[in-house]
């Protein structure tokens, strides 16, 4: 390739980047213009003002309309509580999609001077995970006069920010605020089919073993009726076999097909014949967790582990029970033990990435796991990058806490009352800094994460959140109710 060809290629790349950057700037400017709040009706008297600052979760992304955002619903609730003749509440939606805590902090003084609010709701931090700009951003001084007012559109290299977001997504695909409580299907037949029954006293080619494997394969192949017919034929054969592993396989098939009551009945029958079976105790734990409660299932799962602590399946079942019990730390530990026993280091890495993205693993937990398996150099090598990423996440939490403390101080300096909020979708990486900031600054905390964690015990995330993690109308309404209750109590 000659020199002129190289220069032509470089010019083509640079021109493509410039055109792409120009397109992003135009899209950003149009978006900024469209996101502006409509002009307030100056004829309506307002004596009490609430300023809501934050990102897309304040703006109302995910709602059916802007009027369904939590600030809009909050204004309706507060004004319903106002006596006739009294001045109305005015709630200002200063949310900005994509805003980081640093950008929000820079804009805050200008907002405070412009609107002179009585209360300020602070819900920030979600976008810090993909924007490294906040990590080294200089904090403004504690005055309302010396901070650059940044309420309007500003120029910045948006291609670089887009690349940062894509890099974060590639490194941690699950960086959306997914809740780490999704229950995996019970391990029914092993990942290698008949090997699941290697501990059975029956030969692998025994009709009962072959029938159990066939029923599971039919179910996994979406041949539901054939699988259920095979299961019905297997019941008397398993009873006659006198084999604990085959009985356990029958229980697992019932669980696979959604027959929790029948599964528990078979587990009780099996334990009456084989009281020392760790397999049946572990399966009973899954039955109890699904039909009764996770708290009552934990002793069953622990007994199975104590009977055979080197069996990965029992640790995996215990992890599943802990997930249903919402004890994510314990579930993570048991999952790691199972993967270590199987020497599935790639699976362990994936597990770490999932929990890391969800903010459910701290540096101490990862360091302890690394120390426990220090002899595995391949394991150490796989996790070294994750440990660096985890420390970056820890630094981001500290940055967010510092920004929130600074925001609280600025709000108080303006004469308003600060309200620090956690995100409705529970994630420790976002909740911890907000709680610590509220505690350190002695500010009011509206802990939406704790409230929704309780709601999600009996409901699915899709009942409250859009697929991308943003709240739906129902959740925005619940958020507004919590904020209104706090404001009315303080007022």
> Is 468 in contact with 177 (CB distance < 8 Å)?
no
Percentage of the chain modeled with pLDDT above 90: 29
Average pLDDT over the chain reads 77
pLDDT at res. 169:
47
β-strand pairing of 417-421 with 119-123:
parallel
Tokens 């440990």 correspond to 387
In this predicted model, what pLDDT tens digit does every residue of 112-162 receive, in sequence order?
Answer: 999 999 999 999 988 876 654 544 444 555 444 444 444 455 556 666 666
H or E element, residue 304: helix 294-307
CA distance 397 to 242: 56
pLDDT over 90 (residue 93): yes
pLDDT at res. 394:
62
pLDDT at res. 3:
77
Q: How far is CA 281 from CA 2, 88, 101, 249, in A?
A: 73, 62, 49, 13
pLDDT at res. 38:
46
CB within 8 Å of 48: residues ≥ 6 apart: 78, 87, 88, 89, 90, 118, 491
In this predicted model, what pLDDT tens digit does every residue of 302-328 receive, in sequence order?
Answer: 999 999 888 888 998 999 999 888 887
pLDDT over 70 (residue 270): yes
Q: How far is CA 354 from CA 103, 120, 181, 287, 386, in A?
A: 28, 34, 11, 26, 11
Tell the CATH topology of 45-178+395-490: Rossmann fold (3.40.50)
More confident residue, 457 or 170: 457
pLDDT at res. 422:
94
Q: Which range in 28-37, 69-78, 385-394, 431-440 is most confidently predicted, on average pLDDT?
A: 69-78
* 380-406 average pLDDT score: 69
H or E element, residue 476: helix 473-490
pLDDT at res. 438:
92
pLDDT over 60 (residue 37): no
More confident residue, 375 or 272: 272
Q: Which range in 1-10, 23-32, 346-355, 432-441 is most confidently predicted, on average pLDDT?
A: 432-441
* Per-position DSSP letters for 387-451, written without gaps between them: HHHHHHHHHHHHHHHHHHHHHHHHHHHTTPEEEEE--SS--HHHHHHHHHHHHHHT-EEE-HHHH
Which segment of 88-92, 114-118, 188-192, 301-305 scores lowest on mean pLDDT?
A: 188-192
pLDDT at res. 42:
45
Percentage of the chain modeled with pLDDT above 70: 68
* 401-405 average pLDDT score: 91
In this predicted model, what pLDDT tens digit does every residue of 207-237 receive, in sequence order?
Answer: 888 888 888 888 878 888 888 888 888 899 9
> 388-404 burial, b for 16+ CB within 10 Å, e for fewer?
ebbeebeebbebbbbbb
pLDDT at res. 283:
92
pLDDT at res. 187:
42
Q: Which of 163, 106, 107, 153 is nearest to 131 (CA)?
A: 163
More confident residue, 349 or 276: 276
């Amino acid at each position: 390739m000659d020199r002129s060809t190289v220069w032509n290629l470089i010019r083509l790349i640079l021109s493509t980047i410039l055109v792409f950057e120009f397109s992003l700037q135009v899209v950003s400017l149009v978006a900024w213009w469209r996101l502006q709040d409509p002009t307030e009706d100056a004829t309506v008297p307002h004596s009490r003002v609430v300023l809501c600052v934050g990102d897309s979760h304040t703006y109302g992304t995910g709602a059916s309309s802007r009027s369904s955002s939590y600030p809009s619903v909050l204004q309706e609730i507060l004004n319903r509580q106002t006596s006739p003749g009294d001045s109305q509440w005015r709630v200002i939606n200063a949310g900005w999609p994509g805003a980081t805590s640093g950008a929000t902090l820079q804009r805050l003084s200008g907002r405070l001077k412009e609107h002179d609010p009585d209360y300020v709701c602070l819900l920030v931090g979600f976008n810090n995970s993909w924007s490294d700009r906040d990590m080294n951003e200089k904090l403004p001084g504690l005055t309302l006069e010396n901070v650059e007012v940044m309420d309007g559109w500003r120029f910045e290299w948006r291609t670089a920010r887009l690349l940062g977001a894509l890099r974060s997504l590639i490194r941690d695909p699950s960086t959306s605020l997914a809740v780490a409580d999704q229950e995996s299907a019970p391990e029914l037949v092993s990942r290698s089919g008949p090997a699941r029954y290697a501990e059975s006293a029956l030969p692998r080619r025994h009709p009962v073993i072959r029938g159990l494997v066939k029923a599971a394969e039919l179910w996994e192949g979406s041949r539901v009726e054939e699988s259920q017919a095979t299961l019905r034929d297997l019941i008397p054969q398993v009873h006659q076999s006198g084999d604990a592993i085959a009985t356990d396989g029958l229980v697992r098939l019932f669980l696979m097909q959604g027959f929790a009551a029948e599964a528990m009945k078979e587990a009780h029958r099996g334990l009456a014949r084989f009281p020392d079976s760790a397999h049946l105790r572990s399966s009973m734990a899954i039955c109890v967790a699904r039909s009764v409660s996770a708290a009552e299932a934990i002793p069953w799962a622990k007994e199975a582990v104590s009977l055979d602590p080197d069996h990965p399946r029992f640790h995996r079942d215990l992890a599943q029970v802990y997930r249903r019990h919402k004890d994510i730390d314990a579930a993570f530990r048991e999952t790691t033990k199972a993967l270590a026993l199987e020497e599935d280091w790639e699976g362990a890495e994936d597990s770490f990435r999932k929990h890391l993205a969800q903010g459910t693993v701290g540096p101490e937990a990862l360091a302890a796991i690394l120390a426990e398996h220090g002899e595995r150099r391949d394991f150490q090598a796989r996790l070294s990058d994750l440990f660096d990423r985890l420390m970056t996440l820890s630094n981001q939490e500290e940055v967010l806490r510092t920004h929130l403390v600074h925001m609280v101080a600025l709000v108080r300096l303006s004469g308003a009352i600060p309200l620090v909020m956690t995100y409705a979708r529970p994630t420790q990486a976002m909740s911890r800094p907000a709680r610590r900031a509220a505690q350190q600054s002695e500010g009011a905390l509206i802990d939406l994460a704790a409230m929704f964690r309780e709601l999600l015990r009996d409901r699915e995330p899709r009942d409250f959140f859009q697929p991308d993690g943003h709240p739906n109308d129902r959740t925005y309404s619940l958020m507004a109710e919590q904020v209104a209750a706090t404001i009315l109590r303080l007022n």
